[in-house]
Amino acid sequence: MFLSSCISHPLISPKISHFGQPSNLRRNVEVDKRFTSALKTRGTDQPSQQASIGAGLLGEWSFARGTRLVGKKVSTFVPFRKSFEVQASWLTTSQIASSMFTLGTAAVLPFYTLMVFAPKAELTKKTMESGVPFIVLGLLYAYLLYLSWTPDTLRLMFASKYLLPELSGMAKMFSSEMTLASAWIHLLAVDLFAARQVFNDGLQNQIETRHSVSLCLMFCPIGIVTHFVTKAVAGTAAADDRHRH
């Protein structure tokens, strides 16, 4: 009988102190009821927040002190964690785009420096014959394109009914820093390839190309046009010289 009574009523009998006064158990139970009622009144719409609240109650509940310890944790932990994750994700994306933009720009400058200041050096010729810089820029571009890709990318690229790009769609797509960084790497790769073509053509035909190569860095179409104009002028001058002799 004594064992059955203990099993049937393990938590009902109040604990009596040495002075004959009830312990803090009843007070803690009342605090628990008020706290539970406050949680129901406050409520939450997010299942993740409900899970966080439940985890906090299970982890911090104490038989001796009730649930008074979790009140502050429930009210501050969930929104802080959510806002921190969003901010950290945004900073990471922005930092990646900025870093790749700077890295790509710095990576092509040595090649332009060699073509402009040492066009006839053996180091310049061997360096510009290599395809390594274009492979690196291509991989970098593919990585940024992967990070910038969204389900709406193709829709924005081919927005017209004829599946052709539209200016408004392209402007919206390039509003993203990651997309803009990938486009910049794309331009750097194409410009460097065009500058190499100009440089090699100048070596084969013994034509000055330093001004055209310099323009290819920032104004590639103008640099190409300048090279063809220079080539035409040089060809005319060479023909005149042959006629004179």
Task: Quote the pLDDT of residue 36.
Answer: 53
* 3-state percent helix, strand, coil for the chain, nearest multiple of 5: 75, 0, 20
Instruction: Provide the 10 A C-beta neighbour count for residue 7.
Output: 8
CA angle, 142 as apex, 141 and 147 as ends, to 5°?
95
CA separation for the pair 241, 245 (Å, rounded): 6
For residue 155, the Cα-to-chain-centroid distance in whole angstroms is: 21
Question: Angle, to 10 degrees, between the axis of helix 122-129 and the axis of helix 177-205?
Answer: 130
Task: Quote the pLDDT of residue 37.
Answer: 54
Task: Quote the pLDDT of residue 62.
Answer: 45
Question: Strand, helix or coil at 50?
Answer: helix
Would you mind telling me the total number of residues written for the chain in this entry?
245
In the structure encoding, which two tokens stand for residue 138, read together?
């291509």
CA separation for the pair 209, 14 (Å, rounded): 97
Phi and psi for 22 in degrees, rounded to 5? -65, 150
Residue in 75, 84, 40, 79 with CA at minimum distance from that of residue 56: 75
Question: Angle, to 10 degrees, between the axis of helix 71-117 and the axis of helix 122-129?
Answer: 130
This model's pTM is above 0.75 = no
To which H or E segment does residue 69 belong? none
Task: Quote the pLDDT of residue 26.
Answer: 53
> Average pLDDT of each block of 10 consecutive residues along the chain (245 residues)?
43 43 50 53 47 43 44 42 44 85 96 96 95 96 93 85 86 92 97 98 95 96 97 84 71
Cβ proximity of 128 and 200 under 8 Å: yes
Residue spans of the domains in the chain: they are 86-240
Task: Quote the pLDDT of residue 82.
Answer: 45
Instruction: Provide the 10 A C-beta neighbour count for residue 118.
Output: 13
Task: Quote the pLDDT of residue 32.
Answer: 53
Cβ proximity of 108 and 195 under 8 Å: no
Residue in 56, 78, 81, 80 with CA at minimum distance from that of residue 67: 56
Q: How far is residue 193 from each of residues 24, 61, 172, measured CA to CA in Å?
A: 80, 67, 28
